[in-house]
Amino acid sequence: MAVSNPPGAPADPSAFVHEAEAYALLVRAGWAVPRHGWLDAAPPFTAGDPVVLKGLGDELWHKSELGAVSFAPFDAAALAREADGMRTRVGAAGHRWLGALVCERVAIARAEGLPTEGFVSLSRHEAGWIALVGVGGLQADALAAHAPPLRWPLALVTPADALAELAQHLLGRVWLGALRGTQPLTSRGRLAAFVQSIWSLAGLAEQERIGLLELNPVVLDAFGQPRPLDAVGRRAAPAPPRLAPQRGFLSALTRPSRVALAGVSANPDGVGRTILEKLRHCPALAGHIVIIKPGESEMLGVPCVPDVAALREAPVDLLLLSLPAATAAKVLSDLTAQGGGARAVGLVAGGLGDGADKTGLGERVAAELRTARAAGRWTPTVLGPNFLGHWVPAQGLDTSFISAEKLPLHTHSGPLALLAQSGAFILCRRSRNPRLQLGLGISLGNQLDAALPDFLDALAEDASCRAVAAYLEGFAPGHLAATVRAAVKLRARGVPFVLLRAGRTAAGQAAAASHTGAMAGDLVLERELLGRAGVKFADSIAAFDAAIAWLSVFPDLKAGPVAFMTNAGLEAVNASDLATPLQPVATLTGDAMRTLEQLLAAEKLTGLVSPRLPLDLTPMARTPVFLRAAELLLQSDAAVLVVGLVPFTRNVATEPVAAAGFAKMLAAIARAAGKPAGFVVDSGSDFESFRTALAESGLPVFARVEEAIAGLHVLG
């Protein structure tokens, strides 16, 4: 049986989990730990047995560095003398002495010239337990670049999946003898039991309120049994649960029946005045806007109330506060104290919980919300600070403070929800692609309360949302775990979720923190967790833009072969270069090839055009050839069709009416085939009207082949 504390030792108040304690936990989880015992308590060895003497100290994670590990035959007197020296060295280094542990010296299975020692690290993260498994021992650092450790979020990965990944990792291949010229050191069955024991260990560690366990090295004994030769850890109480906003807040943004606005002045260029003018252009809000302005009964034809107390009996769905930080905080406090008045509150200004908050206003507001929710009292859902607004094209609703002259609201509504921590980012996306078919676009701001995961949770229950894209600069505590859970819900409903995570470098993290207060974190772990939850990543703004251009039209787009058709050889070559195993060049069957040859012959293009994909129709091809070829290509194994139109040849009709007619016919062909299609027009501003005419068909239009394919790569 495993032992934990030394004989006669008092209860250990330290958070540190020493080796004997860790062994006791491992035994309960089914691990085969080395036989061991305290030197002062008759350890289970006889004279001459090969043993390892270890000096344990509080917070001593690396015993060998202090000379607190010794290999010797068992001799109680000799080991006692060695332990005295260890005690001196451990104490001199500032560690409280815990005792001398005598452990069995395990015979380790080896493979000549190859690493055979592994490690297991288990840590409780806000998103649950994370296991790292990889090459351990002295070679760990040198081999990490060539064989990075496996990361398993235990809530998102099954032991069967983990076993499959370990079997392909360098450590697993060495252990299973899968490398040329090697013999198995263990069996797949023992490896499966080893993986399963990691899940068991995490469950026990959770019960014991242990937050970290490090097992290094983990070796195979002569029978192929995985054995941990050292184990330490740390106790840690789990973080308190995050108190999210109340459910149902999304409808207050997407379908508000009444809106209030505070901070409207007589200045026609003021922020509040601009927001008011935007609200007045929303048909659904006609007669349903109220201004909070003390001493006034009416302003600019809109009724006024003196304060939020008036909203208690006549509540609004959305309250927008274009007020200084201190005033906005006071209004929020009053609203929460009175127990009603507005389902959602947008804080337009900053200065709460960010770099400009020098008096703790943000923390005070957050604490009030937490206290009220913990007590079960009503609170509003708070958006921002730095809430730059949101828009719902189907409703004609725009709450941003950017004038309509600078950024008109286009009413191309559709299945995509676009969210961004940065208001400028989302406004730029809106300007660059005014034909994005959006159901909702929203600036999240500093996320003092309502945050990305809350919106994702709400969107996962909204049947009208069929795709989500987000830009984020960092996760505040508790947000990553909630985002992972929400992403799993979206995946279960078949809703793709594309994320552009900025701040991926130290400089980027510093810049993000300076203007949004974004939290830096373990980016590798973030990506692992989110990727396991089904999130698709864009690694550049250009790739993100391309992905959302596809998604807003074709939310059900799936990875697969790409059929590319163009009138320029350079585009065909580039399309071929961009193929990947997930998105290879589509292929034609023999019958389809013959049909294509007949089409080319009828157009007198035989010898000029090669009947293969990517299909280069050359500048000689006329519009009917493109349409008939599109029908043919969409009958291939293609998952998507991309049509490249270099517009300089006379045979490409670039006049808006003709171009729009061609685009609508091609869109109809794609719809009939049930497959996505898009255009590429690689040209300058002289052909902007041509791009616009093509876009009127509802199909996405890209400026380069790379953009179109990059978007598909993200979605793959």
Q: How, if at all, do strands 316-321 and 342-347 pair?
A: parallel
Q: Which of 464, 457, 462 is nearest to 487 (CA)?
A: 457
Instruction: Give the residue with greater pLDDT, 88 vs 516.
Output: 88
The reply to whether omega before 647 is within 30° of 0 (cis) is no
Q: Which residues of 389-403 are buried (b: 16+ CB within 10 A; e: fewer)?
A: bbbbbbbbbbbbbbe
Q: Which of 291, 275, 254 is nearest to 402 (CA)?
A: 275
List, in sequence order, every residue forming a beta bridge with 441; answer none if it has no partner: 391, 418
- Mean of pLDDT values over 133-154: 86
341 to each of 258, 293, 312, 344, how far by Cα in Å? 11, 16, 4, 9
Residue 510 clears pLDDT 80, i.e. is over it: no
DSSP structural state of residue 484? H
pLDDT digits (tens, 9 = 90+) for 83-120: 999 999 999 999 999 999 999 999 999 999 999 999 99
- Specify the range with the lowest mean pLDDT, choosing from 92-96, 181-185, 265-269: 265-269
Residue 511 clears pLDDT 60, i.e. is over it: no
Number of other CB atoms surrounding residue 190 within 10 Å: 18
Residue 325 buriedness (CB in 10 A; 0-12 / 13-18 / 19+): buried
Give the CA radius of gyration of the chain.
32
Element counts in the chain: helices (H) and strands (E): 22, 30
CB 115 within 8 A of CB 121: no
Distance, CA of 629 to CA of 616 (rounded, Å) = 11
Distance, CA of 323 to CA of 384 (rounded, Å) = 13
Q: Which two tokens stand for residue 33?
A: 């730990």
Amino acid identity at 292: I
- Mean of pLDDT values over 453-481: 96
Percentage of the chain modeled with pLDDT above 70: 95
Q: Which residues of 241-272 are buried (b: 16+ CB within 10 A; e: fewer)?
A: ebbbbeeebbebbbebebbbbbbbeeeeeebb
Instruction: Give the residue with greater pLDDT, 363 vs 6.
Output: 363
Distance, CA of 84 to CA of 90 (rounded, Å) = 10
- Mean of pLDDT values over 71-82: 97
Host H or E run for residue 177: none
CB 469 within 8 A of CB 548: yes
The predicted model scores a pTM of 0.89
Amino acid identity at 248: G
In total, the chain counts a number of residues equal to 716
- Cβ contacts of 339 within 8 Å, gap of 6 or more: 312, 377, 378
Residue 518 clears pLDDT 50, i.e. is over it: no
